[in-house]
Amino acid sequence: MTTAEQRQAILDAVDAAFERQVEFTADLVATPSLRGQEGAAQEIMAAAFQDAGLALDRWTLDPEELATHEGAGAVAVPYEDTEVVVGTYEPRRESGRSLILNGHIDVVPTGADRLWSRSPWDSAIHDGWLYGRGAADMKAGLVANVFAFTALRAAGLAPTARVHLQSVPEEESTGNGTLSALQRGYRADAVLISEPSSGSLVRAHVGVIWFKVTVLGRAAHASEMSNGMNAIDAAYAVIGELRKMEEEWNLQVPDSEHFGDQEHPLNLNVGTLHAGDWPSSVPDSCEIGFRVALLPEMDVEACWRDIVDRVERLMAREPALEGTTAQVEKLGFFSNGYVLEPGSDAEGVLTDVHDYVNGTALDAIALPGYVDSRCYGLYAGVPALVYGPLGERLHGADERVNIESIRQVTKTLALFIADWCGVESV
Ligand SMILES: [Zn+2]
């Protein structure tokens, strides 16, 4: 336990550096880090880790090594420029509990520019919010990890346990960045991921599968349509069948321990669709990209078999689909859900410091989306806490993060490091 005096010194240090922290976050948001193009932003993180006195480790994702991990996502893009960056602090003598602070550098595509009030890379500050793609999800949290860590040093303290700061790619598509860090051997007594969670603790998150269905038909002139097999029409049938599956999966929701009170947490999203090349030609192929969620109580392998079986049975049974084929392939995420079991020491410490900083009890939420906590939670047996600032319009236009919530989260993280790892004066 840190003393009240030490705690105050840490909180003051966060305040003293906060203007710099917001500027740093804005600079990082202004540096695009779309999938496969994370290099420039990772350079900034590597420099920040070094400035914080951390020993740097960085490596390129290896698709072959990842393929050996049961939780890895199918690799659909080249990984040549996709790096994980880790900074490590080694204490003079190790007496406390070690910690991984994790965050992802990748951001999702911006969508249509016309929907944004200004450029998604503008990172403007307005009325207490910082705007831009990735501002909330999750560059504010990623940077908060660094400033929380450096606040201890500024307060004349140092952790008495190993601390790793991780900046990972691929969180928005596969989870392969954090899994790669796991494969490289990074372990600790707890993991904290500062995803935007409105200052709540993520108790559970759903699993996610990305997959692609390629429907093949037969081309013909539109005036002789009956000679062809329209792949777009067949794709409608495939989507309809998978919508039925979605509804059936959601029937299991009321029995779920952590998602039982949610209306429809298992969404099937038709995310991409590519087909046809001419209005007067019957399209001979249609490629559909799907994302679907599963409960922590469900098993990703069984869900995958369900998806494949349903599409195969549909194609075999519908007379109207005769002459068309559908191939189902994994495309990215292949993830089980995760539940952070209540009662861990790590949760106890977070509950305490959250209350200390905010004067409110820490509440827990079940997230109907993916976060990387399952990587450490399921495959390393480490309690993985997800806790971060207030964000809005994630993955949408005018994404934004609340600046005061960044300050509160950074203070909570700093006290968490101190209490979890222990501190000594330096
Ligand atoms: Zn995120």
What spacing in Å lies between the alpha carbon of 141 and ligand 1's midpoint? 9
What spacing in Å lies between the alpha carbon of 136 and ligand 1's midpoint? 8
What spacing in Å lies between the alpha carbon of 281 and ligand 1's midpoint? 41
What spacing in Å lies between the alpha carbon of 155 and ligand 1's midpoint? 30
Mean pLDDT of the chain: 96
Task: Kindly indicate the confidence band of residue 219, based on its pLDDT and cuts at 50, 70 and 90.
Answer: confident
What spacing in Å lies between the alpha carbon of 97 and ligand 1's midpoint? 26
Q: Note the pLDDT tens digit of each residue in 137-178.
A: 999 999 999 999 999 999 999 999 999 999 999 999 999 999
* CATH of the domain spanning 4-205+338-425, picked from 1.10.3210.10, 3.40.630.10, 3.30.70.120, 1.10.3470.10: 3.40.630.10
pTM of the model: 0.95
Q: Note the pLDDT tens digit of each residue in 346-374.
A: 999 999 999 999 999 999 999 999 999 99
Nearest to 231 by CA among 303, 321, 310, 164: 321
What spacing in Å lies between the alpha carbon of 290 and ligand 1's midpoint? 19
Task: Kindly indicate the confidence band of residue 1, based on its pLDDT and cuts at 50, 70 and 90.
Answer: confident
Mean pLDDT, rounded, for 5-20: 98
DSSP string, 1-38: ---HHHHHHHHHHHHHHHHHHHHHHHHHHTS--BTT--
> How many angstroms separate the CA atoms of 186 and 188, rounded?
7
DSSP string, 139-165: IHHHHHHHHHHHHHHHTTEEESS-EEE
Higher pLDDT, 197 or 218: 197
- The pLDDT assigned to 223 comes to 82
Mean pLDDT, rounded, for 262-284: 95
Structure tokens at 365: 């939420």
What spacing in Å lies between the alpha carbon of 268 and ligand 1's midpoint? 19
Bond prior to 138 in cis (omega within 30° of 0): yes
What spacing in Å lies between the alpha carbon of 356 and ligand 1's midpoint? 26
CATH number, domain 207-335: 3.30.70.360
What spacing in Å lies between the alpha carbon of 193 and ligand 1's midpoint? 9
What spacing in Å lies between the alpha carbon of 144 and ligand 1's midpoint? 14
Task: Kindly indicate the confidence band of residue 79, based on its pLDDT and cuts at 50, 70 and 90.
Answer: very high
What spacing in Å lies between the alpha carbon of 307 and ligand 1's midpoint? 26
What spacing in Å lies between the alpha carbon of 337 and ligand 1's midpoint? 15
Q: Which helix (H) or strand (E) holds 215?
A: strand 207-216
In degrees rounded to 5, what are phi and psi of residue 63? -60, -35
**Where are the chain's structural domains?**
4-205+338-425, 207-335
- The pLDDT assigned to 76 comes to 85
What spacing in Å lies between the alpha carbon of 249 and ligand 1's midpoint? 25
